[in-house]
A and B are shown apart, each in its own frame.
Chain A
Amino acid sequence: MLFGVSRVWGQTLKNDSYILQMGNLNSIAGKPTGSGFQLQFTSGQTPNNLFTGPNYKVRAGFQYISSIIYFRFSISSTLVDFGVISPTSPVSRTNQLTVSNGSAYGYQVTVSQNHDLRVDASGFDIPATSCDGGTCTPTTSAAWTSALTYGFGYRCDNVSGTDCVSGFSDPTYYKSFISSPSAVAVMSSTNVGRNRKSDITYKVNISGTQPAGLYRNIVNYIAIPSY
């Protein structure tokens, strides 16, 4: 067996335009510094990849992040089930958004809906709420406590971190959803963070004249890192 072992050659794959860099073991990485110098190296995986070719150079990832950290976004439940909605009996449901932006200094989560809650067959809508005073919009919150105020809206409550956008410090305040392609921020931070959590509460209330039917829509959340 000793004599039968064949040699393995480590070759550099390159031509005039390219050098093929393969991933390798993340055995050595760090930032050696001294009084007159600062050297940054990574032996192993190259998370802040530098891709080069004729007439171009790509830096992938932030230089200040010296390891592979995924920018992650989670929603605790994709189905927000309102069940049977009775007139003047508001229904509230909650799901949770979680962001881990260890690989970016800052982020925002935008929200939009494809359309109002709608019966696809008939086209009947439950309109966006304008809150008790008729003043809330996708960007401005207002109180919504009256059972005689109808519509569909949401609010954001911080669970860990303080990333809900402004306007929700009062627990009775809501905003309406904006329809795509527009979107507004619902969470944002200018810091790095892990597992920043916010609860989104959806509220729907209908009048006695609301036509019966199966009302549905899609709410889109996009987590966008800073640049």
Chain B
Amino acid sequence: MKSYKVFKVIFNSLKFKIFVFLLLSTFYFQLSTRNAFAQSVSLGIFPPVMEIDATSPAEVKSKFSLENPTEQSLDIIIQLKAFKASTSNNGQIEILDTFESFPDPLLINRIKIKDKGISIRSFTLSPKQKKEFDFEVNIPPNEAKGDYYFTVFFATNPKPDTISNSSLASAGVAMNVLLSVGPKGETKGFIDKFSSPLFIDSGPVPFTVQVENASDHFVPINGEIIIENLFGQKVGKVKLLSVNVLAGSQRLIPDETQIKVDSAEFKEIEKTITSSNYPVAIWPEKFLIGPYKANLSLTFGENGEKFSRSVSFFAFPATYLAVILIVLGIVVFIVLRVKNKIN
């Protein structure tokens, strides 16, 4: 009876009521607070480029895939943009605001991204999902011939529902499409630049190779540089990377080793690559002496029109020689001092 009275006093006390109120409030706020996640986002695409040769009429069909390596689903929106070659001539693109550069600007309406046969402009990628999509272009009879360069963006679509001052970052990847609607004109072009340092101390030797495509269509270019010594012996070969050169544009061409980033050959030329402000083709040979002649030969397009040019350079290992002379000097000095002391 006595304990009942004590409990009654406690229950009725103001302090107890306040304690209960605070306890319940804490639970309420804990349960109702929204989690604010600082999520990462990641997207992958393959292939990064599509090259299409077509003549009207054609129903071009191809495939590509996207991946979401993250743990959350991603809402993706699709956008198409025309582009032209960047003036840096390094294979990068410059996005255009309109499709006026297209021989037929309305062609853009006949490009479809399809998922299981249904044309889509947005979609959701589930966590860890890799998904294949159809890429289709309807080229009607009498379509305006010429090249159409466009890029397809796949970008996340963030929802601005945050409750603080903030920026939301959206991530996107792109696939470049080079569409050539024929019949194609004659493949025309030339070697715009082929140069190397006139004098070098030691290798690797950087070559600047720039070509210009004067055709009305993009052209794949293959080539190599053969290096000969004073006696006309072949002492080196640099295989050039096979690259596309857009119609009416120029492009600098690197060598093939530069895509093998994990190879020992790449490590040898890495410093030369990073020290150059633009793509160069690199002969990795280190010890060089005397005059050399480098012969560039290029094949333009599938018809195989060939171009060639030569450049000469002179190598003299001045650093090595200076070290040898200094060492020799020290040895001679020591020998003379010893001789003088003996005498």
Contacts and interface: CB of A to CB of B under 8 A. Distances in A.
Interface in A187-208: 188, 190-194, 202, 204
B264 to A, nearest CB: 16
Interface stretch (B59-67, B190-198, B205-213, B287-295): B59-67
Contacts of B56: 55
A103 interface: yes
B164 A218 contact: no
Contacts of B169: 75, 77-80, 95, 218-221
Most central of B56, B153, B165 by chain A CB within 10 Å: B165
- Residue of A78, A120, A223 with most chain B CB atoms under a 10 A cut-off: A78
Nearest to A100: B44
Contact of B60 (A53, A73, A101): A53
Interface string A53-75: 11111111111110011111111
B40 A76 contact: yes
Interface residues of A, number: 75
A113 B158 CA distance: 13
A217 interface: yes
A226 B63 CA distance: 19
Interface string B7-46: 0000000000000000000000000000011111111111
Contacts of A101: 48
Interface stretch (A2-10, A81-89, A128-136, A139-147): A81-89
Interface in A153-207: 162, 181-183, 188, 190-194, 202, 204
B46 A192 contact: no
B119 to A, nearest CB: 18
B170 interface: yes
Contacts of A194: 261
Contacts of A224: 92-93, 95, 151, 174, 176
Given A54-B58, A55-B58, A192-B259, A227 B91 contact: yes
A127 interface: no
A149 interface: no
B241 A64 contact: yes
Given A73-B43, A105-B254, A61 B48 contact: yes
Given A56-B60, A103-B46, A104-B49, A216 B258 contact: no
B177 to A, nearest CB: 9
Range class of the B interface residue count: 35 or more
A72 B130 CA distance: 13
B259 to A, nearest CB: 5
B261 A216 contact: no
A58 B167 contact: no
Given A190-B254, A217-B167, A81 B53 contact: no
Contact of B38 (A79, A191, A217): A79
Contact of A219 (B139, B153, B170): B170
B62 A227 contact: no
A12 to B, nearest CB: 19
Q: Which of B45, B93, B167 has the most CB of A within 10 A?
A: B167
Contacts of A80: 166-169
Contacts of B170: 78, 218-221
5 contacts: A75-B41, A190-B90, A224-B93, A227-B149, A227-B246
Interface of A: 47-49, 51, 53-65, 68-85, 95, 98, 101-108, 110, 113, 117, 120, 162, 181-183, 188, 190-194, 202, 204, 214-227
